[in-house]
Structure 1
Amino acid sequence: MVALSGVQRFIEESRTTSDLRAGSRIIAELTAQAVSVCEASKAELVFPTSAREEVGMPNRVVALAPAGQGTALARKASERVRECWQDWLRRFLGRDEDTPGMPAVTWVVVPPREGGYPEQWREAQRRLVARKQVRDFAALEVRSAGLCQLSPRWPATRPPRQNLRPFERDTLSAANWVKRERGRHHSGIASTYGIASAPFRAAVLEQMGCPRVSTVVDDLREAVKEAGVGIPGRPLPGMAKPRGEAAQWLWRDGGQWVYPDSWSAESLARQLGKPTSGAEFTDFRDVVALGRMAAANLQKVMEEKFQVAPPASYLAVLAQDLDDMGSHLSRKTKKENLSRKRHAEISDQLRRVAEKQTSLLRDPAQLGVEVYAGGDDLLAFLPAATALAGARACKKAVTEVSADLPDASSALLFFHRRYPLRLALAASRAALAAAKSVPGKHALAVGYLRRSGTQETYVRKWVPDPSNPEMLVCDYLSDFTRSGMQTARLSPGLLRDLERDAPALFGLSPDTFAAELQRLIYRHTSAPTDHQRKEFALRAADRLRILGLSDGASPTKSEQTLIAAARVGVFLRQECR
């Protein structure tokens, strides 16, 4: 058993989505090196079954080697991983560098036992846990160079290139420069701006035949070019490549520039290292003003002519983890005992889950993109408008591949496109931990993180109403998004009234509780007609009633659950478009 340690930390110590994806690909490719060593030997692979798996590559390799050959094979696999990493250092940095703790490869070998494979498996698990408790520290002598901004446990080193633009001149360690350069060359994905604005840009691309739309897109593109602020972007897999230069620019590079607030002359000048005063800045500010006007005009044309809402300021990060996967791998079933064959079947199931989830996320209906999909582990980004549907689809994918796999717990965190990515990922991890702390697990945490730092997390079992098992939490929450009853608006004043009246509400009979909840929502809803207002209030009250009632919980806990659900519902109504 060969494992790469510290994987999650290395991947999530990222400033951009491109860094994040590159970190994931680095770990997958390093693991593939260990797998290839096993394939080239007489070993029989258990996890994964091939080094050629494009998705679903774990960070752990399990193989059965001929008796007496395990130690040599594990050492060779470990050495191959380190050699590959050193090759990348030379390739991307142009020099050798010490990167203590990266890669962190640990391995254990268990000789034949009387109990056969099951006993070997349990002993390997025990030994690997023990081995990870033993830390070896290589001596590292460096001159004072500061610490890495992303991974302060490592010393910073000089950049790999001299021609970095001002906003690219971070203080990074050698390991993180490899991550940054790897993403720039091979594995970059759309930025947070590109993901958040994807539904809006997809709608614009559909209307490029309209002269007003194409003219404004041309103006926007020209302003980016004249201002010299163009940053090469990455298209989302779910957006088909359009025809025409302007359309292709919007498809690939336009994610940031459809937002008028991206056109701040002072901020852009600082990013590009331009003067922030004087005649040169005055000229630059005039060009930036044209870009801001073009972005505003594009939103105006789409809203007035095609009833398309402005681009959302929020996107969502989806994290998913199968519950008690370690126990699932170590226990026997009614059909068969713990065996190498069963483990190989589980490995294949996890691979198929990863492939299915990747395909679902990349569908034009979702416009999402995966960071990594390992079958039992998923991290992905989705636009705000499709995030609930994407979380639902990825959860269902597990049971559609195999009913024998454990249930999934998930976290869906909405965050502002300008919010620091590392903090959003940390909040997502905390939300997933909250979902997995629910008794019996199999839960979903839905939260938001506003740019101001205001946040809320609502946690509930995937099926909130046992009498209706087909309806998941996402289905109840989706009625609060703009896609459900688009014309109705829900005021945040609802939250103030609920916080004040919640203790009294839970002292009412069920029918009176539902009626009072409907009255409060109606009071804080606005719509073009009274019929639409009543219709939204009736539906939202029914959804909120179910979302707010915790099974077997104390009245105080139920009040907290109701208020958390309402806060998330109001947020979704305001920002999911």
Structure 2
Amino acid sequence: MNKKYLFLYTVGPVQSYIEQSRKTHDLYAGSRILSELTECVIEEIIKKNGANEIVFPYYRKNGGEISYPNRCVSIVETDDINNFGEYIDSKVKQSFSSKLNLTISSDKEAICKRQVEQHLKTFWSAVLYDEKRNYKEQYFNLEKTMGSIKNIRAFEQIDEGIGKRCNMCGEQRAVIFKDSRNKYLLKNNEGLCTVCYLKRAYLKNEKNIFPCTASVSLANWLEFIKNDEELDKIYKQYINLFPKNSYNEQFLYRHNITKSIFKNENIDLKYIKLNKIKNKLETLLRETQKRAKINEDNLKCTPIRQRKYYALVAFDGDSMGKWIAGEYFRKDVDFKQAQKTISKYLGEYADWVKANLKITNQSLFGSVVYAGGEDFLGFMPLENLLDTLKELRKQFKIMISDKLIDFKEENKEFTFSAGVCIAHYKTPLSHVISSARKMEKNAKKNSDNKDAIAISVIKRSGEINNSVFRWRNSEGKYLLDDMKFIKEQIGSEVFSDTFIRKIDRELYDMSYGLKKEKEKKTMRKYKNMIISELNRLIDRSCLVEEKKLEIITDMKNTISNIYNNLEEQDSNLENFVSYLKIAEFLGREPNED
């Protein structure tokens, strides 16, 4: 006899598998593979019985590329829940194993099979479901059962013998090395374990599946070229000078046109003419600079130039566990319906992000690694970074928090906190990912209400600037608007950056050596003196004569607003100066190789 069960299934590991990456493609592929496994769970549950109900996540059939979280909550009907759970588990593991489309030598077949089987950590739990009973209590029991299961881990001894460790994860033995079948996937002396090779080989036959860091850094510059018929023609001629599947955007930088870099990228020097490549690149750079100058003079727009820095953005819904558990819902609402509704709105927001955040000619520039609704990871070029971040936050409020008005408590708003790492395109990706995650955690620790953003700039020189602040002030104004104003004023050379460098130097002895609590008091105690000194420095940093008084007044008001807003948020002087230095960096990126 069939009975109804509340069924929870999770797939892992998540962050370690996604973020142990050497290339942007590895990062993207890890996310897609895990998302496809969750999709497999959902489809198998529905296939088993069309009456089975998916509660979380929001399932969109034939919705194209969708990022699903690593867990699925459903109401299923079956006569044997153990067989049902084992069936779903076997299908997920079968789907994961089938992604390795590789002929392996017999001496490595056993170790490859073991690496794949031991990597995936799947868990499921189920409780009897009674529609007449309180759904919230039944859901809590389900989560409690899952917690108990995860606390008991079976230990497996791994003995893979002596050998080189995987270059990507550094944990398992490397079993796949460069050969004639994968020469465009692996570099010389690079070895991967079976699990990491799954990511590297994911959709390898599809061209340009995910842009490299150089491509993201150059996004606006490349868009300008592609929108100009003559420049686009030269650009395509340049690409055609490279052997098939060997070109990537790092070769748009002069300093990368060397024999050593070509060799490192598996480009056989016998099949290229280095001088011809250099000459064609010089032609492209010269013509682009000439047309960009005409464009700037005629349209008075922001200068178009080659950038070498990009941003990696990670955000996560604040107190997501409490929202899903119903702690912020009104007591009189249907808890199951509230769960399904929040799942639906998160799914719709994720779809909006995927549809709008692309490397194309539009206001929102970026490449999405994954967007599950309340969590996001993606790359963005610096030119549009501040506008894109602000729009992501605004749409989150409009598409999710505001729509939950019928379910949530009156004083509650569903928010997210974001971490941003700005780095040189040659900075090791693992370091950039780690920094973005650290910034995300710092943003969540900024205040009890969270709803903050933390930005880190890692310069090629080794200097690091970090700033943390809430998205909006008490009046609802976004603090990113002030950062954008400073960026534009310095970028268009209305102001020099000397007032930022000088106030940094002057404040160093006053506050940076003090403890955090004293720094907060310093910011309040010496407010008038610091603002007065900033005003003096701003007067001397203005580089234009036309409307000089008006321009200087606007800058002084902006700097004063930033100071007041950060003081209101119990910030400190180091955070304030870092905010200014980040704005200056965005406006005038250093010329580094």
Of the candidates 534, 537, 544, which is equivalent to residue 520 of structure 1?
A: 537
Corresponding residue for 2:289? 300
Whole-angstrom distance in 1 between the partners of 2:371 and 2:191: 30
User: Would you say the 8 A contact 1:36–1:51 is kept in 2?
Assistant: no
Structure 2: runs of 5 or more not aligned: 1-7, 297-302, 405-412, 512-521
Whole-angstrom distance in 1 between the partners of 2:97 and 2:525: 67
Cα distance 1:381–1:532, how it changes in 2: closer, same or farther (>3 A)?
farther
Cα distance 1:259–1:193, how it changes in 2: closer, same or farther (>3 A)?
same
Q: Does 1:63 align with 2:59?
A: no
1:542-561, Cα deviation, whole Å (9 max, x unpaired): 3333333434566xx52122
Comparing 199-208 and 331-340, the one that deviates more: 331-340
Whole-angstrom distance in 2 between the partners of 1:309 and 1:77: 52
Corresponding residue for 1:408? 416
Per the TM alignment, residue 90 of structure 1 is displaced from its structure 2 partner at its CA by 3.9
Corresponding residue for 2:300? none
**Secondary structure at the counterpart of residue 168 of structure 1:** coil
Report matched runs for 1:451-490 at 5 Å.
451-464=460-473, 466-467=474-475, 469=476, 471-482=477-488, 486-490=492-496
1:366-410, Cα deviation, whole Å (9 max, x unpaired): 221211000010111111111111111111121111323611111
1:25-58, Cα deviation, whole Å (9 max, x unpaired): 1011111111112112343211124363542412
Per the TM alignment, residue 576 of structure 1 is displaced from its structure 2 partner at its CA by 10
Comparing 442-451 and 361-370, the one that deviates more: 361-370
User: Would you say the 8 A contact 1:259–1:295 is kept in 2?
Assistant: no
TM-score by length of 2: 0.82
Q: Which amino acid aligns with 2:450?
A: K
Report matched runs for 1:132-281 at 5 Å.
132-159=150-177, 162-163=180-181, 164-165=183-184, 168-169=187-188, 170-186=190-206, 188-208=209-229, 211=230, 213=231, 218=234, 221-226=236-241, 228=243, 231=246, 255-272=249-266
1:336-367, Cα deviation, whole Å (9 max, x unpaired): 34532221111111101101122231362222
Q: Does 1:31 align with 2:27?
A: no
**Secondary structure at the counterpart of residue 59 of structure 2:** coil
User: Would you say the 8 A contact 1:45–1:63 is kept in 2?
Assistant: yes
Corresponding residue for 1:560? 574
User: Would you say the 8 A contact 2:20–2:430 is kept in 1?
Assistant: yes
Comparing 49-58 and 25-34, the one that deviates more: 49-58
User: Would you say the 8 A contact 2:368–2:379 is kept in 1?
Assistant: yes
User: Would you say the 8 A contact 2:78–2:84 is kept in 1?
Assistant: no
Whole-angstrom distance in 2 between the partners of 1:105 and 1:150: 22
Corresponding residue for 2:426? 418
User: Would you say the 8 A contact 1:411–1:446 is kept in 2?
Assistant: yes
User: Would you say the 8 A contact 1:34–1:81 is kept in 2?
Assistant: yes
**Secondary structure at the counterpart of residue 457 of structure 1:** strand
Q: Which amino acid aligns with 2:48?
A: S
**Secondary structure at the counterpart of residue 11 of structure 2:** strand
Structure 1: runs of 5 or more not aligned: 234-254
Per the TM alignment, residue 515 of structure 1 is displaced from its structure 2 partner at its CA by 4.1
Of the candidates 354, 357, 374, which is equivalent to residue 358 of structure 1?
A: 354
Corresponding residue for 1:575? 589
Whole-angstrom distance in 1 between the partners of 2:294 and 2:538: 31
Whole-angstrom distance in 2 between the partners of 1:125 and 1:9: 23
**Secondary structure at the counterpart of residue 479 of structure 1:** helix
TM-score by length of 1: 0.84
Per the TM alignment, residue 166 of structure 1 is displaced from its structure 2 partner at its CA by 8.8
Per the TM alignment, residue 511 of structure 1 is displaced from its structure 2 partner at its CA by 6.3
Cα distance 1:176–1:535, how it changes in 2: closer, same or farther (>3 A)?
farther
Per the TM alignment, residue 499 of structure 1 is displaced from its structure 2 partner at its CA by 3.6
Paired positions, count: 538
Q: Which amino acid aligns with 2:195?
A: A
Q: Does 1:129 align with 2:147?
A: yes
Cα distance 1:158–1:185, how it changes in 2: closer, same or farther (>3 A)?
same
Corresponding residue for 2:517? none
**Secondary structure at the counterpart of residue 504 of structure 2:** helix
Per the TM alignment, residue 535 of structure 1 is displaced from its structure 2 partner at its CA by 5.1
Whole-angstrom distance in 2 between the partners of 1:134 and 1:539: 61
User: Would you say the 8 A contact 1:260–1:296 is kept in 2?
Assistant: no
Q: Which amino acid aligns with 1:498?
A: D
* RMSD over equivalenced CA pairs, Å: 3.1
Corresponding residue for 1:9? 16
Per the TM alignment, residue 160 of structure 1 is displaced from its structure 2 partner at its CA by 7.8
Comparing 126-135 and 82-91, the one that deviates more: 126-135
**Secondary structure at the counterpart of residue 530 of structure 1:** coil
Per the TM alignment, residue 438 of structure 1 is displaced from its structure 2 partner at its CA by 1.5
Per the TM alignment, residue 66 of structure 1 is displaced from its structure 2 partner at its CA by 3.1
1:241-263, Cα deviation, whole Å (9 max, x unpaired): xxxxxxxxxxxxxx333322332
Corresponding residue for 2:323? 328
Comparing 417-426 and 127-136, the one that deviates more: 127-136
Q: Which amino acid aligns with 1:149?
A: N
Q: Which amino acid aligns with 1:9?
A: S
Cα distance 1:112–1:149, how it changes in 2: closer, same or farther (>3 A)?
same
Q: Which amino acid aligns with 2:265?
A: Q
1:45-83, Cα deviation, whole Å (9 max, x unpaired): 111243635424121011112376433322211111100
Corresponding residue for 1:247? none
Corresponding residue for 1:376? 374
User: Would you say the 8 A contact 1:49–1:348 is kept in 2?
Assistant: yes
Q: Which amino acid aligns with 1:119?
A: E
